[in-house]
Chains A and B, each alone.
Chain A
């Protein structure tokens, strides 16, 4: 989450000039909406409204379409996210092996629900459908690190190891 500083900044302080540069390679091309949104999110950590507005103008695509696409796909986030992203696997293998208990315990400990961020911006809790580590179910990822063969009582210790 290298762009956290920008991500949590108020919209007014966003450096929007970046948007033009991000959009530039996609001007006058077909099927660009999703890659453009991916680039904007990569840069800001989420999709800030002013950035979408600017991109819509540059691309000459209605803002409603960008917004419609952004809210359709699970990857796109409309709000700034925490420093650490917890993704609990909701895949079948993990479910069978008790994955929901893992999510419940995290919710209890952090006092947030799925898709929420702790007030100190330390953690965001999300769900993911199978990361392909089913052999180690139940699984969660924190940032890019997978944690497998979880049980609810292991959670506290794992969370404590993140800043």
Chain B
């Protein structure tokens, strides 16, 4: 028996902040002291709080250590593991807590969260099936094996689960359509393409709790009468793919996948397909084309995949998080429990990825119906550096921005759609006063324009033209008529494009025009970008009142545009400055400010 379990976050976020090195240092320290056998070290799934990674949670003591460095390990072993004393210094501290937070319940980030989908992430070793089973895993599946097919679909319907991949289609209905579709051979497909740049919920689920997804797919297979499944996963997620492979092999070994599962006569085989880098392959018909080995170009629906999907057979496609919810619903009493959370039309919880100018970047799971304000300020800790909140982008390139006035909007499918955003897959990117909304629209359009499959004219040609107009506006050569052109083009594209990509790609433009029209007008009429993002539309200047002449800015400027003696006020040569912003980052007094571009005419007058 182990004395303690040390769960080291081994998800991509923490790995990027060097949790691998931390683990090595910890292992070395334990080995050096010859006490390796007493402790179990697990590279666990994401615990959500990527901002403060690398993280180690020690059980059964329930202590949450964060912002760890390899050099901290000696102390951790010495004091905590051997001395039995909590290392205060490595606990969570922040302006929002009075005393260092020791465990989840004392850390504000976790207070409003509800862990359903992320129930196991960070708690179990995702590479060991027994740990999943110990926490009730595969029980829902064995229950489903004893149920009639329509009964399974019915429970999913009654729970009110809606697809977590974006569109929010009722999952139970989709299953039912596929169940009744005629055909001997049917498929279950898990959409793990997670294309929204700035979202990583599905990746964390796959890395932290792969069996939950496999169990969800098994239950779906049983319900619709499929004997084969595919998980289509982005190749950019190598760790998720590795964990899935291990999980599938273990499930096969345990007789949970394969022929005659648990002697029920039910067969199910699971394959993994690695995507090859195309956002549009998240769209279901493009995804199927991609599995079939074709260019990932969407095709018109109907026929819907439920009737004619993969290789022409009835196919049920759901998102990773959708499947991860299924075992919760199908367990005894699960329907009622699931439906008790959320709002009338949106049940259960939703996982969000918090990113951008937010203090607590990371992953959180909250009940549907919670307000945006609660997610951003209570869970997310508000805006970084206490700057002014401007808006939050929900739903990525298909979604829209939600401005400060709407912060009290409840998070559910319908409210978000009404506000011009969408639930999307769950990416929330927070923006402050230094984010330019015109540039944001331009950014999303450059993304969708690059990712358009090129099949249909409105999307292929239309995104290009909208992008060009936005580029001109950001360049200072926009014209007042551009806004009308943009809007009418956007409406036509929404109305006539073939697939969801084209139909939703104008959303970021329409929503930024709707809520931030004045920023567009400022760009066009006054050639000014107040956020200091569009390089042609602002200048930096050094405020002589506050500059202390530390010379840091001058030293960091790559084009030597800043001059000034030590301890004297510095100045920027506008003819050299490339507005790279390096100086802004290093100025200790925040003296480098944004102003309108002074035209030649102004100088002479």
Contact = CB atoms under 8 A, between A and B. Distances in A.
A96 B429 contact: yes
B558 interface: yes
Contacts of A96: 355-357, 429, 431, 435, 440
Contacts of A121: none
Nearest to B240: A132
Contacts of A146: 15-16
Contact of B293 (A30, A91, A128, A148): A30
A133 B581 contact: no
Nearest to A131: B236
A110 interface: no
B51 interface: yes
A151 B582 contact: yes
A93 B355 contact: yes
Given A105-B558, A134-B361, A148-B17, A93 B293 contact: no
A72 interface: yes
Between A33, A74, A128, A132, the greatest number of chain B beta carbons within 10 A of the residue's beta carbon is seen for: A132
Interface stretch (A5-13, A17-25, A78-86, A135-143): A135-143
B50 to A, nearest CB: 4
Interface in B413-455: 427, 429, 431, 435, 440, 443-444, 447, 453
B291 interface: yes
Interface in A67-111: 68-69, 72-76, 90-98, 101, 104-105, 108
A47 to B, nearest CB: 11
Contacts of B279: 129
Contacts of B393: 92
Given A105-B558, A134-B353, A151-B585, A90 B16 contact: no
Nearest to B559: A108
B16 A76 contact: no
B276 interface: yes
B17 A136 contact: yes
A33 B275 CA distance: 12
Contacts of B361: 93, 134-135, 137
Nearest to A133: B16
A1 interface: no
Interface residues of B, number: 58
- Among A31, A68, A90, A93, find the residue whose CB has the most chain B CB atoms closer than 10 A: A93
Contacts of A69: 293-295
Interface in B265-317: 273-279, 290-297, 311
A37 interface: yes
B237 interface: yes
Given A93-B429, A130-B200, A98 B295 contact: no
Interface string B216-241: 00000000000000000001110000
Interface in A112-163: 128-137, 139, 146, 148, 151-153
A38 interface: yes
Interface stretch (B80-88, B103-111, B191-199): B191-199
Contacts of A31: 273, 291-293, 311
Contact of A73 (B16, B203, B278, B356): B278
A34 interface: yes
A32 interface: yes
A90 B447 contact: yes
A132 B237 contact: yes
Contacts of A135: 13, 17, 50-51, 53, 355, 361-362
B203 A132 contact: yes
Question: Which of B198, B273, B277 has the most A CB atoms < 10 Å from its CB?
Answer: B198
Contacts of B276: 34, 37-38, 73-76
A91 B12 contact: no
A91 B198 contact: yes
Given A33-B293, A34-B276, A75-B276, A92 B198 contact: yes
A137 B355 contact: yes
B580 A152 contact: yes
B396 to A, nearest CB: 7
Contact of A92 (B197, B235, B274, B582): B197
* 6 tightest Cβ-Cβ pairs between the two chains A and B: A92-B198, A74-B277, A91-B197, A33-B293, A135-B50, A73-B276
17 contacts: A30-B292, A34-B274, A38-B235, A76-B276, A91-B198, A96-B355, A96-B357, A97-B357, A105-B580, A130-B196, A130-B200, A132-B12, A132-B200, A136-B16, A148-B17, A152-B558, A152-B580
Interface of A: 30-35, 37-38, 65, 68-69, 72-76, 90-98, 101, 104-105, 108, 128-137, 139, 146, 148, 151-153
